[in-house]
């Protein structure tokens, strides 16, 4: 992918950590200029109160071979989003890839609590962070994206359309948030088609994000230690894997064939031939259905 996206401009909304950071870095590795946005900077933390910053993400983009530009943006604030897009237009004159990855709901959902027992304030805040942010960002960014045919929108979610249609995601609010993003990709695909644009929904598998590694009290270097607590974690993947999926889509001259569809990192790895950082190709959503949900012992043979 080296140089495949040279001259292209990407906006990764929600690039502070996790999938967003992995996507930004891999777009940079392919040569793109990447605007990495989020709320946490070295001078100010968001309500997540995490140490990862957008400046660090931008620096990683640049080290990977692209040009990283960190911009502090609260994607619930319309004027901040409008000014972000105006800045991209002033500085670059184009936008080729929009990745809507804003989330920030990790501490807001309550597993296994029905709607009527779940904190309403937390649930509604989760929906605003997961849905409203994507709508506001697309509303302001799409006019710039469609100035040139071939623009790509990637809506990041959790779960494929097939999986989410048949499985309750353990919380009313989480379920609604992740399913809504799938439909947003479909609707944007319909509206972009006449302008030569493409929109897809993309899910990573079981992501070894900074938060997930912290949950299991491991580092990326010794992530397999977590298998003692959760053997199915063996199917997990790094944020680079979904990042490589986005880079492959962005470099594909026939990317419109995917428009409106729900995709996964594992699915696209088989099509485009990229791997995770360890050379494997984890297929988490097939594993989840055929092994974990089926109650079988953890065994990733044939799944990565």
**CA gap 258, 168 in Å, rounded:** 26
Domains and CATH numbers, the chain: 9-207+241-277 (3.40.50.720)
| CA separation for the pair 299, 235 (Å, rounded) | 9
Structure tokens at 18: 């996790």
Crossing angle for the helix pair 239-251 and 18-29, to the nearest 10 degrees: 50
> Which phi and psi (to 5°) does residue 173 adopt?
-70, -40
**Angle between helix 133-145 and 172-192 (nearest 10):** 10
- Taking only the tens place, the pLDDT of each residue in 225-279 is 999 999 999 999 999 999 999 999 999 999 999 999 999 999 999 999 999 999 9
Whether the full predicted model's pTM is greater than 0.75, yes or no, is yes
Provide the annotated active-site residues: 174
Contacts of 105 (CB under 8 A, 6+ apart): 125, 126, 129, 130, 174, 177
Query: How would you class 37 by CB atoms within 10 Å of its CB: exposed for 0-12, middle for 13-18, buried for 19 or more?
Result: buried
Instruction: Please list the pLDDT of the chain residue by residue as tens digits (304 residues).
Output: 678 999 999 999 999 999 999 999 999 999 999 999 999 999 999 988 899 999 999 999 999 999 999 999 999 999 999 999 999 999 999 999 999 999 999 899 998 899 999 999 999 999 999 999 999 999 999 999 999 999 999 999 999 999 999 999 999 999 999 999 999 999 999 999 999 999 999 999 999 999 999 999 999 999 999 999 999 999 999 999 999 999 999 999 999 999 999 999 999 999 999 999 999 999 999 999 999 999 999 999 999 9
Cβ neighbors of 214 (< 8 A, separation 6 or more) are none
Burial of 272-298, coded b for 16+ CB within 10 Å and e otherwise, reads eebebeeeebbbbbbbbeebbeeeeee
Angle at CA 203, nearest 5°, toward 202 and 204? Answer: 130
- Residue 201 host element (H or E): strand 198-203
């Amino acid at each position: 992918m080296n140089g495949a996206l040279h001259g292209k401009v990407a906006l990764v909304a929600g690039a502070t950590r996790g999938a967003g950071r992995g996507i930004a870095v891999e777009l940079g590795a392919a040569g793109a200029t990447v605007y990495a946005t989020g709320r946490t900077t070295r001078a100010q933390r968001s309500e997540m109160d995490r140490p990862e910053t957008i400046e660090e993400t931008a620096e990683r983009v640049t080290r990977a071979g692209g040009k990283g530009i960190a911009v502090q943006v609260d994607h619930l604030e319309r004027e901040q989003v409008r000014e972000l897009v105006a800045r991209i237009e002033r500085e670059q004159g184009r936008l080729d890839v929009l990745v809507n990855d804003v989330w920030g709901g990790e501490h807001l959902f309550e597993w296994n609590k029905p709607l009527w027992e779940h904190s309403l304030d937390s649930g509604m805040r989760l929906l605003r962070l997961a849905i409203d942010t994507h709508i506001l960002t697309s509303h302001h960014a799409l006019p710039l994206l469609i100035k040139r045919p071939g623009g790509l929108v990637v809506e990041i979610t959790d779960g494929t359309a097939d999986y989410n249609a048949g499985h309750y995601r353990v919380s009313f609010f989480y379920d609604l948030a992740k399913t809504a993003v799938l439909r947003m990709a479909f609707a944007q695909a319909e509206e972009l088609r006449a302008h030569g644009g493409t929109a897809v929904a993309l899910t990573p598998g079981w992501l070894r994000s900074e938060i997930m590694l912290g949950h299991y009290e491991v580092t990326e270097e010794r992530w397999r230690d977590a298998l003692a607590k959760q053997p199915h974690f063996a199917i997990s993947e790094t944020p680079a894997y979904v990042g490589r999926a986005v880079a492959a889509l962005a470099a594909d001259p026939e990317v419109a064939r995917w428009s409106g569809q729900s995709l996964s990192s594992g699915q696209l790895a088989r099509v485009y031939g990229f791997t995770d950082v360890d050379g494997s190709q984890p297929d988490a959503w097939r594993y989840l259905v055929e092994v974990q949900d089926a109650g079988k012992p953890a065994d990733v043979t044939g799944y990565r």
